[in-house]
């Protein structure tokens, strides 16, 4: 079982992390809107052309990886500040080669 760290944290550092967390929670809300927009666009595109947009798939995959990093930071599961304070994260999982509708 993991133990709680025994070091005493300064209130200043806690307050700074809280400020970053509030900022990234606002960023996360924007990311949710972006994801909703890409999903809506992808399905409209899919209904019209009967094929999906690969650039939209790649973009939404990158946005989801970034959103994951943001959530890990705000939930205290990661210490690295997300973009724009660090490099934009690399994709961890590539999109599936083919989308199936079964």
pLDDT tens for 14-69 read 999 999 999 999 999 999 999 999 999 999 999 999 998 999 998 999 999 999 99
Q: Per-residue pLDDT tens for 58-98?
A: 899 999 999 999 999 999 999 999 887 778 788 777 777 77
Number of C-beta neighbours around residue 66 at 10 A: 19
d(CA 15, CA 55): 40
Instruction: Pick the closest to residue 97 from 60, 52, 41, 62 (CA basis).
Output: 52
What is the value of pTM for the model shown? 0.80
Task: Tell which residue, 32, 33, 53, 31, has the closest CA to residue 43.
Answer: 53
């Amino acid at each position: 079982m993991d133990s709680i760290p025994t070091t005493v944290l300064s209130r200043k550092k806690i307050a700074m992390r809280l400020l970053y967390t509030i900022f990234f929670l606002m960023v996360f809300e924007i990311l949710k809107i972006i994801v909703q927009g890409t999903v809506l666009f992808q399905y409209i595109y899919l209904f019209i052309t009967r094929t999906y947009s690969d650039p939209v798939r790649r973009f939404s995959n990158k946005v989801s990886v970034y959103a994951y990093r943001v959530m890990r930071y705000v939930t205290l599961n990661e210490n690295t500040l997300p973009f724009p304070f660090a490099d934009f994260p690399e994709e961890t999982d590539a999109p599936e080669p083919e989308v199936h509708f079964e």
